[in-house]
Structure formats: structure tokens, C-alpha cells
Amino acid sequence: MHQGYYQSMGAADMAQLQATMQAIELACNSIQMHTNPTAAEATLLSLSQSPRPYQACQFILENSQLPNARFQAAGAIRDAAIREWGFLEPNDRRGLISFCLCFIMKNANSPEGYVLVKVASVAAQLLKRGWLDFTAAEKEAFFHEVEQAVQGSHGLDVQFAGISFLESLVSEFSPSTSTAMGLPREFHEQCRISLEQDYMKAFYCWVQYAAFNVSDRIIGANSEIPEVKVCSAALRLMLQILNWDFRGKNSIENSKRGMDIFYDGMKQENDSLRRSECILVQPGPAWRDVLISSGHVGWLLNFYTALRQKFSCEGYWLDCPLAVSARKLIVQFCSLTGTIFPSDSGEMQRQHLLQMLAGIVQWIEPPDAVSKAIKSGKSESELLDGCRALMSMATVTTPLVFDELLKSLRPYGTITLLSALMCEVIKDLMENRTEEETWSWVARDILLDTWTTLLMQLDASGHKHSLPPEGISAAANLFALIVESELRAASASAFNDEDEYDYLQASIAAMDERLSSYALIARAAVGATIPLLKELFSERIMRLHQGRGTSDPTETLEELYSLLLITGHVLADEGQGETPLVPKEIESHYSNVTEVDKHPVIVLSGSIIRFAEESLDPELRRYFFSPRLMEAVVWFLARWSSTYLMPPGESGENKGGYENYNNTQHLRGQTTNALVSFFGENDQGKAVLDVIIRISLSTLVSYPGEKDLQALTCCQLLHGLVKQKNIICHLVTLDSWRDLATAFTNERVLFSLNAAHQRSLAQTLAVSASGMKTSEASNQYIKSLTSHMTSALVELSSKNDLKAIAQQPDIILLVSCLLERLRGVARASEPRTQKAIYEMGFLVMNPVLIFLQAYKDESVVVYLLLKFVTDWVDGQIIYLEAQETAAVVDFSMRLLQLYSSNNIGKISVSLSNSLRSEADAEKYKDLRALLQLLSNLCSKDLVDFASEPIETYGTNISQVVYTGLHIVTPLITMDLLKYPKLCHSYFSLLSHMLEVYPEIIAQLNVEACSHILGTLDFGLHHQDIEVVDLCLRALRALASHHYKDRGDGKVGLGSHATSYKDADGKFHEGILGQFLRSLLRLLLFEDYSTDLVSSGADALLPLILCEQSVYQNLANELIERQVNQTFRSRLTNAFQSLITSNNLSSTLDRMNYQRFRKNLLSFLIEVRGFLRTV
Amino acid sequence: MSDEEHHFESKADAGASKTFPQQAGTIRKNGYIVIKGRPCKVVEVSTSKTGKHGHAKCHFVGIDIFTGKKLEDIVPSSHNCDVPHVTRTDYQLIDISEDGFVSLLTETGNTKDDLRLPTDENLLSQIKDGFAEGKDLVVSVQSSMGEEQICALKDIGPK
């Protein structure tokens, strides 16, 4: 039909088309040869941007000999059609789609697959673009052809082409892989739902039929035949469809995705997050006939089994595409779940899984033989896919059902098989320790995830369930083997060099995850594993003592290091911000052990704490306690103490009705009491706490320069202790804690702690003040803690020769140390200690300003000063009384002014590029701190606990912050706004200010105002969506303030908003007019995310209302520029309906904003397409 | 506090001292350090261990503050390093001589004539142009370990 179309054209047109084709071919060639690529790209771009290039594109597709030219032509059709879709005739739309479909069918045997794929994806995109407008009959017409093709009635090539078109279509309709096409999310969502409801199952049936039909021929053939290609494509598409995120009516009640409603309540959302690898397939009851009752799964498994026999034939092997797709599909079927199975208490699902397992078990059994075969060169993919299948099954069943599955086929359960598999994998890992990832690494990770999946379910279902006895002993064996392999790895790596160490550091997160999985396995068999750990630990300690002075302990140290990490994970969970409880398995297993000296957990913990205590002896420390071992000790103590040391449930209650409490807490049973009360406050708790504090002090003092160790001590161990209220009140009564505080103020060696640790230690000590009995005591404690620091700073700042000595390295070190400490204390602000901390800051206000001047070239100190003030104000501001507020505000302003006068207009240069960029980064950090300071001041207006309003002392926060902004903004250059964090802080502060206090803008002078508004315009064109959004909010606030104020007969933004002619007759537009122009240009001509349209609308509406005449002028300007009459009238109507349709009124209320958002969206869809290109 | 007194006492002859000892572990990024006899600004610090169970050591990357050359050093973190005394002094610019020297006004009212114009082109042109336009310019002079160099410029002319 198209040929005829060309014939009917004149010769002139023909020549024109030929010329275009030649130009495009030339451009394609020159891109490939890399001669003048810019010009070539321009030629290609001009094709896709020209109006209605379809005829030329179709001509090229059908006639060009150059595949690249055809590829480009297809792309041009897509670009042009998506852009012009709004004003294409329905006939043209359909014509383009059928052209593409015909093209792929006609050229199905073409060797240039990529052109076909491109055309197929163009067809899919156009079909989606028109999806909601086409009638059902129109869609049927398209799909009829496709169905014919997929069924194979036009030969294998066409069949393959049909399947790959469906592949493009499904991925185009799936939200994660769709093309945006400039349409809102609702559109994509509606398309997704419609395809899922009306077509998905049909597609599946077509390809299922296709695969079924070719499979016999494949099995019968002795070499690779063309059917193989079709079959693997079909299997791929089935997999893709099963991967679809089904959400329609079928599983509507299943709104929490990833949750298996089949075992209602058994699983929790957070488990499934871990199992990222395993996507649940939940297509709902409508799919039961196709997937379950049709025998489809049986066919698939048989097909694969038959395929396995052929791996010796030419063209087939374990990793050939067909085998890979088939296995993937089988694994996917293992995670089938949800309402597709009837509610028959899981019977049908069990049958299904049993069928799957029977097929899969051949891939992985017997584990030792499989592993041996892989070691002698067989591909590992079957084993890995088998492991993945087990993992999927573990995800969709309960541990008990999972274990039972295999029992109907074998004398043992699935968990035993799982354990045997994992043991083989661990053995292989022990034999070959290599750097690169081997099959056993991958298999170990998958199997560990499977264990985690199973055991987490047990965990979530309470301690009534546990593994069957056989499963427990399987877990115990496995854990013993795991520990053996870890210890062997440790001693083997003990002498490795530092490079390896760095490598391990990098993978520490991965290791942590692995250790938590090990811990789950250990806890499943607590009865065996804790005594095992205890035994291994004692053995190592004995070995250390025996070999003391005679043999090198390094290997044993490294083993102890591993053992401590493993034990820590087994005994306690990471709190993640909450107080962790004693793990349920440990709690329930020892529920009848009442004698403390026979409680394995107490015995194990006790022996580790006694070992740790040995580090206090200087001689033993020198022999055994290397920095690395000490790191593990401190880490263990931190983790252990947050669970077991004076747990909150136990303290308090036992003063009053401990008996009562005991009775009501029957569930917790005796065990917790034996365990908990042993380390509780009335028994050994205090003694253990004392040991821990003494160990901390000794690590801080005796390991100079060991940053990692100090970090663990300060930030994890001590920080963790003061987070617990029940510990703090005992802490402050201990001599060892007082020793720590004294050492902190006096010990010279503690001045050499790393800055961050210095700060953290100060904070920790200050926080502990809340453990004091009275608030006077707390304030007194803070005072004595800080007085040495404040007086040292005051004294230093008042020295006459400060200028001379300030820049001496030792003085700089001292000042920075003290400031870090003050900052730490400032961050510990609490209502109870607020007075003392305010005093502290008040005393150093003047010194801070003096130092800011003295160290104006010492960026490190400047930054510290600013950060201290920022943190101090942050902690204090809401509690301050009016008078104090006035003092703080005054101080902050002086600080800002001083900083500004030191830095404005300064040009620093450096010979080295890296130093220069370093200097920029420092400036950026300073400014960020200053902006934070302003935001902190701002918060006084929102939350204020002062007894009288701050205005009593003449403080006006908004005024202050604007003045601050006025000082700071000149320092913020456009270059600095390229730092994303600074940019965010700046614009969030600015938009907050404009939203809350728009009236202040009117009071600013022209210069200040234009700088602020200049940055706003800059932000409007920023790449970061959030920044643009902030600016739009600021604009909305400005314009709506002006509009409402004017409505009330007030000045609004005053002179800034009015347009005027200056003395030279030059016209100056008011700011709102400028922004209207700028915003409209942005919305119409620039690229932005569709998410911004609604906030754009919210800013545009008040702007239009303020500046109606400017809006009319702009609209006329744009309309005048249109030469095409149709476009011109469309544009006129669009501009008109933007401000009139949906009953838009001229008020600024919620309803009106909503209407305008809709108007703007349809306006943009209507006109953006042609405005941007024509 | 005893150690502070210690600090303060040493200041009497501090002006004369070119470097100060400081524990390697306390030297931070953006601080100063002497590497191979040159005063450097630290642009990178990393720590590592000598063997798994050995002690920590610091790896410094510094940039010579006068020449811009990159220098590196490794020091056990509990050992002391030399830290240079780096000062910056502001002077008002009063003249630029033909042979590339500048004449600066000191706080005491004397002139200082032994400094060359900087080699950095940006700064050089700013100084020359600014001076030619008659602006009041203040230059910052960085000095350490017996060397001096103009490193920054500020226009304090009437606003």
C-alpha cells in the first residue's frame, strides 16, 4: 500500500525524499567514520525535529540500504510522533503504528536485529501513547496481526518478531522500564492497569502455545535448529510476564506488596526487604487455570529434563540461552504465591512446590557429587539456580512446610539437604581461599539468604515454633563448620599485609551481614552452639597464656578477633537506635536454668569480660592486647552491654513490687531473670560497669594514635552507655567515671585524641550529668567539667601578645582542642543542664570573636568557631529568656559581620590546584555553618519556652535573620551554589523566610533585594528538583502575599513590584513581572520533571493574578510568533482556557489552586509539543 | 592545668622557633606539617597498620605552601612530627618597583622592600591593575621557616 502511495506522488516529491535519504545516510556514515560528527548529528536532529517527517522516515526505512539510517529514521518517527501526537489525525496515529508493525513482520528475516528491535519499541511506545484513546476494536486490530505472528502462522522469523514486539510492549507498560513521554504518572498507571487486566494473560497464552509447539521439534532434533531461537524468546517473555508487578483486582486486598497473604500475618514487611533477589510472583486467582491447572509447570520441567539429556549434542550445553531461560523460568515458578492458590490451607501450593522440588532436586543432589563435578570443570549454573529455587521456596512457605517437602521424596527433610549443600560450599571455600569471587562465594551468599529467610520467619512467629529436631542438629553441624572455616581463615590471614587489611575494611558491611546470618543459624541451635563458642574461646585463651613469651601469638590473636565478632553477633542484636532485647531463642532455650554458674550465656560472657579485664595489666596488655584485638574487645563490650548490662525491664521495678512484676511477666520466665539479674544493678552489674569504664580509660590513654580503637571506645562503647537512663544513674556514682572525667580535664595525652573523638567524649561526659540526683548537682557537674576550658580560652584571648603567638602550632592545637570539647558539651544540651551550658557559651562569647579575628587566615580554626556557635545556639535558643536571646542574637550578628568583613573581597591564590579547590571547599563549609546558624535563630519564632515574649527586649527574629542573610548572601557566589548541600541549605532558608515573612522583602533596599531575587532566579533554573521546588514555593509566597495585601489596600511588596521608567527613559519591570516571564519560559520551553508542574502552577497562579497585563502581553507575543494558522488558534485558545476553564476565579484558595493545577497540566500537554520545536 | 602552663611558657621564644613537635595522630587534613624539610599543607591523611596486629601509622599527602609541590610521608601515629609555624601578615601596598619588587607599609610605619611580586598571573594582574587604578590594596604575606610569599590580596578602598 505504501508503494502505491509513493507512486501517486509527483516526481519532484520523489526527488525530495531521495535527497533527504541521501543526507541522512551521509550523516550516519560520517558519524561512524567520525568525520565531522557535530554536523552529522545536527542533520539527524533536524529530521526528528522537522514537522511531520513521517513520509521521509518511512521512505528511508523502506528504501535505504544502510541499517543505521533505518535505525535513525525509526527514532525520528518516534520523536516526532510523541511530540505531535496531540494534533495528529486519528488515522495518522493508527497508520504510524501499523506501518511499524508491518515493517517488523515484513522484514522479520533481516539480519540487522537492532533495527527491528528499534522499530518494535517505536511501535510499542506509540501504541502506549494512544492506549487510552484507542477503542477496544482498534486495539484488537493491532493485536490480531501480532497473535497470528506469535502463533507461528507466518513462519519462524515472523513468530520471533512477534514475540520480541510483545517483549518491547510489556517493558514499555511496566512503570520501571517505561519511557516518560512527558506524561504524568497517572497516565502510565492507567496503561499498566489496563494492560494487566485485558491483555497480559492472553499474551502469556500465546507464547506458551508457541513454546509448546516448537518444543517437540527441539527435543527431537540432534543439533541446533531455528526453533531454538523462538523457544528461548518465548520462555524469556513468560519470565518477563511473571516478573510483572501484578496489582490489579486479583490481588487488590494484597495492597502491601511483598507480603504473603497466604500465610496471613506470618511474615513481616521488613523480612522481604532483605530478600531483594527473590521477587514474589502473585498474579491472583485469574491465572490459576493457565499456570497451575493446565499442567504447564509439568511440561516446563519435563522439557528441561529432556533438554538436559541433549547437553552432549551440538548446539546445546548447560549454559546455552535456551537452558538458561528455562531454568530462570523454573526458579521463578518457585516463588509463585498469593491468591492464585485457593484457600485450601496451602494444599495446592504444597503440591505445586513439591512438583517443582522434584524437578530441581536433580540439579543439586547429592551435594558432594555435585560439588566434585563442579571442581572438575562442570558448569556451576545448575547448582546456583537450584540454590535460588530453594531460596524462593523458603520465601513462600513456612520452615515446617519447607522441611516437609522433601520428606515425601527422600528419607530426610529439605533443611537437611540445605545444610548438606551449605557444608559442601563451606568446605570448598576452606580449600580455595582466593580473592576473586568463585561459585562457592555466590552459592554461600544465596544459601545464607535462604537460612536467613527461614530463620527470620521463626523469629517473627514468636518462640512457639522452632525447627524440627533434625533441623536443629543440621544447623548445629553447619554452624560448627562455619566457625571452623572462619577461624581457619583468620589464622591463615594473620600475617597478611596491610593491603589485604584495607580490602577487608572495605567489605566490612558485607561481613557484618554475613555474621548476622551466621548468628541466626547459631541461635537456631543455641543448646549446642553457645557451649561450642565457650569451649573454643577458653581454648584460645589458654593457648595464649601457655605460649606467653615463647611463641608468636599473632595467629591466636586473629582467631580471638574473629571469635569475638561471631560471639557478639550470636549473643546480642544491634540496637539500631532502640534498646535491643535478649534474643528470643536464647531467652526461651534456657528458660529452666536457674543456677548462674551453669547458665552457658553467663559463663561465656563472664569469661570474655574476665579476659577483657586482663588488658588493664600493663604487662599482659603488651603481650596480648594488640590494637586490633582491643578493637574487637571494645566492640564486643559495646554490643554486649546494650543488651545485657542492667537492662531497663529489671531496674526500678524491683524497688517496689518486684514480686508482682515477676508474676505478670510469666512469659519471660526464669531464664531472663537468672541472666538479666546476674548482670543487673543488684548483682554483678555495677562491678561489670566499673570494669568497662576502666577498660575504656585505659584504651584512651594507653593506645596513643590508634584512631580506630579510640573511635570505637568513644563513639560506640561510651556513647552507648550514656544513652541508657538506667545505666547513667549508676555511672555517675562510680569512682572510675570520676577518674575518666578528671583524666579528660587534666591528662595531656587525652589532648592528642582525634578531634571528633575529643568532641564525642566531651558530649558523653556532659550527657551523663542527667544521671545526677538533682538539677543543681547536674549544673554543678557541667560547670566543673567545663570551667577549665572556658577559663583557658578567656585567659588566652586576653593575652597582649595573642597576635604573635596565636599562629604557633601548639596554640592552634590547644585552641582547636578546647573548641571541639566545648562543641561536644554544647551538643549535649538538655533542659536540665541548659543553664550551665548557656553560662559556658556566654563566658566565651568575647573570646570567640577575638579568635575569629586572630585566626582569620586559619580556616580550620574559623570553621571550628562557627560550628561551635552554631551547635551552641541550636541547643540553647528555644529555652532562652528574652534578655538572653537579645545577647545571643547580638553576638551572632557581630560574628556574622566580623566573618564577612574578613572575607569579602578577598582574593586568595595558590600555586596548587588542589589547594585552591580545598580553599573553596572550606569557604563553602563556613557559609553552610553560617546559614545553619541563621536557621537555628529562625526556630526561636516557632518554638519558644521563654517566660516573656522576646520582643520585650526589642528582638525581632525575622528582622535579625534578614539582616543575617543580607550579610551572608554577598559571600555566596554562584560558584559556591554549585555545592549541593550549601545550595539546599541556602534555598531552604530563603524559601522558609519568604514563606513566613514575605513582608520583610518590601523593607529591603534595592541592592539587597535584587541579590536575593537574583539567586531565586538562579535556583529556578537549577537541575536539582528540590531546589527548584523550594524556589517555586518562595515565588508563590511572594506573589500571593503581594496579591492579598493589595486586595486589602496595603502596599504589598511596595516599590519592588512596580514597573517604572528611569530618568533615561529605560523601562524597568517590577520583580513579579520578571518572574512571571521567567517562569512561563521555564514551563514552556525548558526541560524539567513533570513532578514540578503542580508547584509551578501554585507559583504561576498568583503571579498571573498580580500581573494580568504582563500575562496578556506575553501570551500575545507568543501567539504573534506562530506562523501556522492552526497552531496559532490552538495557542490562543489554550492561553484563554488556562485562566478561564474549570470555573477558575481570581481568589487564592485551595480549590482554586487545585483547578489551576489541572488547567496548567492540560495547557502544557496541549501546546508544549509544538512550541518547543516549531 | 599543668600542660597549658607548659604551652604558655614556651611562647617567650616562640617567635624564633620555626617548627613545633606534634603527635602524628593529631595532625588533621588542612593542617600543616613539615615533609622533607618543607612546610606543607596537609591535603590527605589516611591511617593503616603495620601488619594486622601492629600499630597504626599515618600516611600524609602535603602540598608545599610555597612551591605547590606534592610531598608524601608515613609516620607511626604515636610519634611526633614537625609542624611549621606559619604566619600571615597584612601590609598595605605602597609601591611596585620596575624590577618586580614591592614596597609595603608595616604596622610600625616602616617600609618593607624585600618581597617580589607573586608569580601567579591572576594575583599579579590584580595587584598591578589595582595599583594602577589607585585602589587601596592590602596584601597578605605568608611566611614560614624563613621563607615569605604574597598569598592574598584585599581591596580596602572606599566602598
Residue B3 lies in a domain: no
Question: Domain end: B52, B84, B116, which one?
Answer: B84
Asked if residues A593 and A527 have their Cβ atoms less than 8 Å apart, the reply is no
A1049-1078 residues touching B, CB cutoff 8 A: none
Residue in the block written with cell 522499530: A119
Distance CA A118, CA A124 (A): 10
Per-residue pLDDT, A1070 = 80
Which amino acid, A677? S
For chain A, the C-alpha Rg in angstroms (whole number) is 37
Average pLDDT on A212-225 reads: 85
- What does the pLDDT look like over A837-869, one tens digit per residue? 999 999 999 999 999 999 988 888 999 999 999
A544-603 residues touching B, CB cutoff 8 A: 554, 557-558
Which amino acid, A748? R
Distance CA A952, CA A946 (A): 11
C-alpha closest to that of A897 among A856, A935, A860: A856
Neighbouring C-beta atoms of residue A308, cutoff 10 Å: 16
The alpha carbon of A906 is separated from its chain's Cα centroid by a whole number of angstroms, namely 40
Asked if residue B77 and residue B35 are part of one domain, the reply reads yes
Distance CA A853, CA A895 (A): 10
CB-based contacts of A786, cutoff 8 Å, min separation 6: A822, A825, A836, A837, A840
Residue B122 lies in a domain: yes
Check residue A260 and report its DSSP letter. -
Distance CA A1114, CA A1122 (A): 13
Q: What are phi and psi of B72, to 5 degrees?
A: -130, 155
- What does the pLDDT look like over A166-198, one tens digit per residue? 999 999 998 888 887 877 778 888 899 899 988
Average pLDDT on A560-580 reads: 87
Residue B63 lies in a domain: yes
Grid cell locating A568: 557478639
Would you call B47 exposed, middle or buried from its count of C-beta atoms within 10 A (0-12, 13-18, 19+)?
middle
Residue in the block written with cell 596491610: A498
Query: Is the CB of A495 less than 8 angstroms away from the CB of B51?
Result: yes
Residues of B in contact with A912 (CB under 8 A): 63, 68-70
Asked if residue B126 and residue B80 are part of one domain, the reply reads no
Asked if residue B136 and residue B98 are part of one domain, the reply reads yes
Asked if residue B105 and residue B53 are part of one domain, the reply reads no
Per-residue pLDDT, A909 = 62
Per-residue pLDDT, A661 = 39
For chain A, what is the mean pLDDT? 84
Asked if residues B26 and B89 have their Cβ atoms less than 8 Å apart, the reply is no
Residues of A in contact with B4 (CB under 8 A): 792, 814
Average pLDDT on A335-347 reads: 87
User: pLDDT over 70 for what percent of chain A?
Assistant: 90
Q: Which segments of chain B have a pLDDT < 50?
A: 1-16, 159
Asked if residue B95 and residue B80 are part of one domain, the reply reads no
- What does the pLDDT look like over A1021-1065, one tens digit per residue? 888 888 899 999 999 998 898 888 888 887 777 777 776 666 676
Query: Is the CB of A905 less than 8 angstroms away from the CB of B10?
Result: no
- pLDDT of A471 > 80? The answer is yes
Residue B75 lies in a domain: yes
- What does the pLDDT look like over A783-796, one tens digit per residue? 999 998 999 999 99
Residues of B in contact with A808 (CB under 8 A): 11, 14, 17, 20, 85
User: What strands lie across the sheet with B38-49, from one edge to the other?
Assistant: B32-35, B38-49, B56-64, B70-76
Looking at chain A, which residue has its C-alpha nearest residue B153? A907
Residues of B in contact with A857 (CB under 8 A): 88, 140, 152
* b/e sequence A858-897, b meaning 16+ C-beta within 10 Å: bbbbbbbbbbbbbbbbbbbbbbbbbebbbbbbebbeebbe
Instruction: Assign A269 a pLDDT band (cuts: 50, 70, 90).
Output: very low
- pLDDT of A388 > 90? The answer is yes
Residue B8 lies in a domain: no
Query: Is the CB of B86 less than 8 angstroms away from the CB of A911?
Result: no
- pLDDT of A6 > 60? The answer is no
Asked if residues A88 and A53 have their Cβ atoms less than 8 Å apart, the reply is no
Distance CA A183, CA A1145 (A): 27
Instruction: Assign A540 a pLDDT band (cuts: 50, 70, 90).
Output: very high
Asked if residue B112 and residue B57 are part of one domain, the reply reads no
For A716-731, the DSSP string reads IIIHHHHT-HHHHHHH
Asked if residues A969 and A1007 have their Cβ atoms less than 8 Å apart, the reply is no
CATH, residue B149: 2.40.50.140
Residues of B in contact with A707 (CB under 8 A): 25, 47, 56, 77
- Which among A628, A857, A918 has the least Cβ separation from residue B52? A628
The parent domain of residue B149 ranges over 86-155
Q: Cite the beta strand spans of chain B per DSSP E.
A: 19-23, 32-35, 38-49, 56-64, 70-76, 80-84, 86-96, 101-105, 111-116, 137-144, 147-155
- Which among B20, B24, B41 has the least Cβ separation from residue A810? B20
Distance CA A1000, CA A941 (A): 15
Distance CA B80, CA A284 (A): 70
Query: Is the CB of A909 less than 8 angstroms away from the CB of B32?
Result: no
- pLDDT of A539 > 80? The answer is yes
Grid cell locating A1032: 517555586
Query: Is the CB of B32 less than 8 angstroms away from the CB of A627?
Result: no
C-alpha closest to that of A721 among A688, A751, A758: A688
Q: Give yes or no for A859 touching B (CB within 8 A).
A: yes
Neighbouring C-beta atoms of residue A1071, cutoff 10 Å: 24
More confidently predicted of A665 and A853 = A853
Per-residue pLDDT, A652 = 43
Asked if residue B78 and residue B105 are part of one domain, the reply reads no
Residue B41 lies in a domain: yes
- What does the pLDDT look like over A707-722, one tens digit per residue? 888 999 998 899 999 9
Per-residue pLDDT, B70 = 92
Asked if residues A311 and A319 have their Cβ atoms less than 8 Å apart, the reply is no
Asked if residues A174 and A192 have their Cβ atoms less than 8 Å apart, the reply is yes
Query: Is the CB of A915 less than 8 angstroms away from the CB of B153?
Result: no
The alpha carbon of A281 is separated from its chain's Cα centroid by a whole number of angstroms, namely 24
- Which among B20, B24, B76 has the least Cβ separation from residue A808? B20
- pLDDT of A357 > 80? The answer is yes
Asked if residue B70 and residue B113 are part of one domain, the reply reads no
- The C-alpha of A1060 sits at a distance from chain B's nearest C-alpha, in angstroms, of 28
Q: What are phi and psi of A373, to 5 degrees?
A: -60, -40
Per-residue pLDDT, A231 = 92
Query: Is the CB of A909 less than 8 angstroms away from the CB of B70?
Result: no
Q: Give yes or no for A505 touching B (CB within 8 A).
A: no
Average pLDDT on A647-657 reads: 49
C-alpha closest to that of A118 among A148, A160, A152, A75: A75
CB-based contacts of A161, cutoff 8 Å, min separation 6: A104, A105, A108, A116, A120, A149
Distance CA A1108, CA A1114 (A): 10
Asked if residue B100 and residue B60 are part of one domain, the reply reads no
- pLDDT of A1067 > 80? The answer is no
Q: What's the domain count of chain B?
A: 2
Instruction: Assign A940 a pLDDT band (cuts: 50, 70, 90).
Output: confident
Per-residue pLDDT, A434 = 65
- Which among B25, B26, B52 has the least Cβ separation from residue A501? B52
C-alpha closest to that of A913 among B29, B70, B28, B35: B70
C-alpha closest to that of A211 among A127, A144, A294: A294
Looking at chain B, which residue has its C-alpha nearest residue A560? B53
Query: Is the CB of A754 less than 8 angstroms away from the CB of B155?
Result: no
- The C-alpha of B33 sits at a distance from chain A's nearest C-alpha, in angstroms, of 10
- The C-alpha of A710 sits at a distance from chain B's nearest C-alpha, in angstroms, of 11
Per-residue pLDDT, A507 = 55
Residue B149 lies in a domain: yes
Give residue A651's region: left, alpha or beta (phi > 0; psi -120 to 50). Answer: beta
Per-residue pLDDT, A205 = 93
Q: Give yes or no for A701 touching B (CB within 8 A).
A: no
Average pLDDT on A719-729 reads: 88
Grid cell locating A436: 576473586
* b/e sequence A458-489, b meaning 16+ C-beta within 10 Å: bbebeeeebbbeebbbbbbbbbbbbbebbbeb
Q: Which of A505, A700, A821, A857 would you mutate first to test chain B, the one with the most B CBs within 10 A? A: A857
- What does the pLDDT look like over A16-36, one tens digit per residue? 889 999 999 989 888 888 888
Q: What is the largest CA-CA distance in chain B?
A: 65
More confidently predicted of A977 and A347 = A347
Residues of A in contact with B140 (CB under 8 A): 857, 908
Q: What are phi and psi of B95, to 5 degrees?
A: -160, 155
Looking at chain B, which residue has its C-alpha nearest residue A557? B53
Query: Is the CB of A807 less than 8 angstroms away from the CB of B1?
Result: no
Q: Give yes or no for A903 touching B (CB within 8 A).
A: no
Looking at chain A, which residue has its C-alpha nearest residue B22? A810
Residues of B in contact with A704 (CB under 8 A): 23, 25, 77-78
Query: Is the CB of B123 less than 8 angstroms away from the CB of A907?
Result: yes
Looking at chain B, which residue has its C-alpha nearest residue A501? B52
User: pLDDT over 90 for what percent of chain A?
Assistant: 33
Q: Which helix (H) or strand (E) holds A1161?
A: helix A1150-1173
Distance CA A650, CA A680 (A): 7
| Tally: H helices and E strands in chain A | 56, 3
- Which among B11, B25, B68 has the least Cβ separation from residue A910? B68
Reported ipTM:
0.84
Per-residue pLDDT, A819 = 94
Q: Give yes or no for A916 touching B (CB within 8 A).
A: no
Distance CA A547, CA A775 (A): 53
- The C-alpha of A575 sits at a distance from chain B's nearest C-alpha, in angstroms, of 29
Bond from prior residue into A366 cis (ω within 30 degrees of 0) = yes
Query: Is the CB of A498 less than 8 angstroms away from the CB of B41?
Result: no
Asked if residue B97 and residue B52 are part of one domain, the reply reads no
CATH, residue B28: 2.30.30.30
A728-757 residues touching B, CB cutoff 8 A: 745-746, 748, 751-755
Distance CA A232, CA A252 (A): 32
Neighbouring C-beta atoms of residue B37, cutoff 10 Å: 9
Average pLDDT on A349-368 reads: 91
Q: Which helix (H) or strand (E) holds A1060?
A: strand A1060-1061
Asked if residues A969 and A903 have their Cβ atoms less than 8 Å apart, the reply is no
First to last CA, chain A: 31
- The C-alpha of B132 sits at a distance from chain A's nearest C-alpha, in angstroms, of 17
Instruction: Assign A461 a pLDDT band (cuts: 50, 70, 90).
Output: low
Asked if residues A985 and A932 have their Cβ atoms less than 8 Å apart, the reply is yes
Query: Is the CB of A805 less than 8 angstroms away from the CB of B118?
Result: no
Q: Where are the domains of chain A?
A: 276-427+440-457, 467-494+506-571, 581-648+674-724, 754-904+916-971, 1004-1173
Per-residue pLDDT, A653 = 41
Per-residue pLDDT, A1173 = 61
Per-residue pLDDT, A872 = 95
Distance CA A410, CA A417 (A): 10
Residue B12 lies in a domain: no
Instruction: Assign A8 a pLDDT band (cuts: 50, 70, 90).
Output: low
More confidently predicted of A631 and A1171 = A631
Distance CA B76, CA B74 (A): 7
Grid cell locating A619: 604487662
Asked if residues A740 and A693 have their Cβ atoms less than 8 Å apart, the reply is yes
Average pLDDT on A571-600 reads: 81
Grid cell locating A1163: 495547557
Asked if residues A340 and A285 have their Cβ atoms less than 8 Å apart, the reply is yes
Distance CA A435, CA A503 (A): 10
Distance CA A1057, CA A514 (A): 63
- pLDDT of A931 > 80? The answer is yes
Per-residue pLDDT, A417 = 92
- Which among B53, B55, B86 has the least Cβ separation from residue A554? B53
Asked if residues A721 and A738 have their Cβ atoms less than 8 Å apart, the reply is no
First to last CA, chain B: 47
**Around A453, how many Cα atoms within 13 Å sit in the side-chain half-sphere?**
29
Neighbouring C-beta atoms of residue A164, cutoff 10 Å: 20
Q: Give yes or no for A497 touching B (CB within 8 A).
A: yes
Asked if residues A945 and A879 have their Cβ atoms less than 8 Å apart, the reply is yes
Looking at chain A, which residue has its C-alpha nearest residue B156? A905
